[in-house]
Structure 1
Amino acid sequence: MIRDWPLMQNNITKEDLTVLIEFLQKEPILTQSNNVSAFEEEWSNWLGVKHSVFVNSGSSANLLTLAALKQMRGEEEGEVIVPPFGWVSDIAAILQCGMKPVFADINPRTLCLDGEEITRKITAQTKAVLLVHAQGFNGLTDGLLKVLKENDIPLIDDVCESHGATFRGEKLGKFGV
């Protein structure tokens, strides 16, 4: 028997839509404006970080993060550990930066990369771990953070699906780059 398993339900109210429509009818500047800067600052305060930079999509965010890491660390190629359960754009960003995606299995309880699997996949070529916190779940563990720190491997902490989820009482998104 096949059962429906709803992954989400819409929580946007009619009141939310009314406010949005009224705002958009004023023909606001939606990019690179004071509103964006103010929202970045408000978001940073909420998250508990110094700075946030908004871009047009999660795909662009991952691409820019990988490109910045390569530039900052002076690396031309290498491997990025990534989950097989995610978006093709995660893999595309890795390939676009001239790096190789290395798939590590997920934890079936959290739907996020499994820390032990990540540890098994780490090599001298590992340049980053792209941890996608799927569907509101936290994928972090103290053990994983310790292994990444010991190996000087940056964590790309992708929380596009899990804003507000926490680890040790802190919001996800502030543990990596």
Structure 2
Amino acid sequence: MSDQLAIFGGKKTVTETAPVWPRFSDEDIDAATWALNEARTKRDFISASFGGEGLEAFEGDFAKFLGAEHVVSVNSGCAAIHVALMAAGVKGGDEVIVSPYTWGQTVSPILQANAIPVFADIEPDTFNLDPASIEANVTPHTKAIVVVHLFGGPARMDAIMEVAERHNLMVIEDCAQADGASYKGKRVGSWGHLGAFSIGNGKNLAAGDGGMVTTNDKWLWEMALLFGHHPSRQGRQLEDPELREYIDSCCYTYRMHPISSVIARSQLKHLDEWNAERRRNADYLSEKLSEIPGVAPPDVAEGGEHVYHMYPMTYEPEEMDGLSREVYVKALAEEGVGVSAYVKEPIYLRRRYQEREYFSGNGLPWSLGKREVTYAAGDCPVAERRCAEQEMNLGSTAWYEDCTELMDQIATAFRKVAENVGTLKEREGELSQEN
């Protein structure tokens, strides 16, 4: 007989805690202090309007880190996607293929661009867009694909780029959760025509808030500047004569705060090291969980290098005598394992998309479409099944240092729950009714 579960009065398994995140070192604090001191005598040093030395230095360093020609800093990952869509030439009524299994802010910039999201299904192993489903959803009205590298795991970019090239589509990579991830030797964000990154507080590169748009195309870079930065910087850096004709104040205020850029630049030097440690801890946990019924550890696309912004798992109820995911997660929580759902419901089944009404009203952007685009249950069965039955995530994965003891305890908790499945099944009705 195994140890009594904590949910029935037994001893809690997990006593270790993950390191605090974000991590701000003395070096980061010194960098921010230095920038403020410089600003005492240099008015433009922390001016996002004019660009600013610190901000443009970070853009340059991030471009080198990524292997990209150009970077434009913005104030969030969501803004980065919006800017990328505009730079890519997405117009009102255009269709943009995107994943239904993601954070909502991957999709809302499509609506902000007055374009129409078309949802392709995901792969059951990587949880990223399935290239075959992308191809099946291309229409004469498709303009772009927004590819999410969800949880820090890279999508199969070679296959996706092949689809895009066949149909002359622009590809925008949502790398908000994948700072530093790579696929087949190339960093994510350098595969598509444009990349969108985030340095929000919980991200692998965390500097308060901010985002970056990346590209290897100078014209796309200038378009991003024109859309999201101050006319002062546009006047200094735009070279295309036609684009210069549009330098005025009719643009979005999407500029990154310069202090965020200084902190991000300081932290960027350690990102690969931190990601490697996250990977080491995650791989160790995956090896342990692969031997335990009821849970499947995350898979990684062949040739991919995951950075584990989150640690996604798959619940396998058939291995747990049909025990509901709700009760399984409750039992784990009492053992000290904070497992939760992330997406919970495919984007297209949410009220806004069912009503096809955004903040602009008047049926926009759907009323601009060249055809009727509607959303219904069954559109993306893999994503729907994951949300309804399988989705589980360890959301706090700040495993940037040795967390072996924590990983061992988490695995022990999963095994303990699996070994007590009979008792949980017997009391499932009672446990399901408890808050």
Q: Same fold (TM over 0.5)?
A: yes
RMSD between superposed Cα atoms in Å:
2.5
The separation in 1 between residues aligned to 2:143 and 2:87, in whole angstroms, is: 12
- Superposition map of 1:11-22 within 5 A: 12-13=22-23, 16-22=24-30
State the alpha-carbon separation in 2 of the partners of residues 57 and 24 from structure 1.
19
Percent identity over paired residues: 32
Q: Aligned pair 1:60/2:114, yes or no?
A: no
Secondary structure of 2:125's counterpart equals coil
* Equivalent residue letter for 2:185: G
In structure 1, how many angstroms separate the alpha carbons of the residues matched to 2:115 and 2:133?
20
Structure 1 residues not aligned, in runs of 5+? none
1:70 correspondence with 2:89: yes
Asked which structure has the greater CA Rg, the reply is 2
Residues 140, 36 of structure 1: CA spacing in aligned structure 2 closer, same or farther, 3 A cutoff? same
- The answer on whether the counterparts of 2:128 and 2:150 sit within 8 Å (CA) in structure 1 is yes
Structure 1 partner of 2:95: 79
Does 2:124 match 1:116?
no
- Cα deviation code 1:1-38 (max 9, x no counterpart): 99x9xxx965544xx34333344445363743201101
When normalised by structure 2's length, the TM-score is 0.36
Question: Which of 174, 190, 197 is the equivalent residue of 1:174?
Answer: 190
Asked whether the 8 Å contact 2:157–2:191 carries over to 1, the reply is: no
Task: Confirm or deny that 1:36 pairs with 2:52.
Answer: no
Counterpart Cα distance in 1 of 2:27 and 2:113:
40
Q: Any conservation in 1 of the 2:148–2:175 contact (CA below 8 Å)?
A: yes
Using the alignment, how far apart are the partners of 1:9 and 1:94 within structure 2?
A: 36
Q: Secondary structure at the match of 1:144?
A: helix
Any idea what the Cα deviations from partners look like across 1:95-115, whole Å, max 9, x if unmatched? 111110011122132121111
- Identify the range of structure 1 (81-90 vs 42-51) with the bigger mean alpha-carbon deviation: 81-90
- Name structure 2 gaps, 5 residues minimum: 8-13, 40-45, 195-435
Change (3 A) 1:175 1:9: farther
Q: Distance in 1 between matches of 2:19 and 2:119?
A: 30
Post-superposition, which runs of at least 4 consecutive aligned residues in structure 1 deviate over 6 A? none
State the TM-score, normalized to the length of structure 1: 0.83
How far apart are residue 59 of structure 1 and its match? 0.7
Match status 1:49 vs 2:68: yes
- Tell me what 1:126 maps to: 142
| Corresponding position of 2:154 | 138
Contact 2:131-2:163 within 8 A present in 1 as well: no
- Which digits, 9 at most, give the CA deviation of each residue in 1:74-124, with x for residues without a partner? x44211111112222222211111110011122132121111111111111
Contact 1:70 1:76 in 2 (8 A): no
Q: Which moved more, 1:117-126 or 1:102-111?
A: 102-111
Distance in 1 between the 2:108 and 2:174 partners?
A: 15
Call closer, same or farther: CA 1:141–1:59 in 2, change over 3 Å: closer
Given the superposition, is the C-alpha separation of residues 172 and 12 from structure 1 closer, same or farther in structure 2, using an over 3 Å criterion?
A: same
The aligned amino acid for 1:60 is A
Cα 1:30–1:17 shift into 2, 3 Å? farther
CA distance, structure 1, for counterparts of residue 30 and residue 21 of structure 2: 19
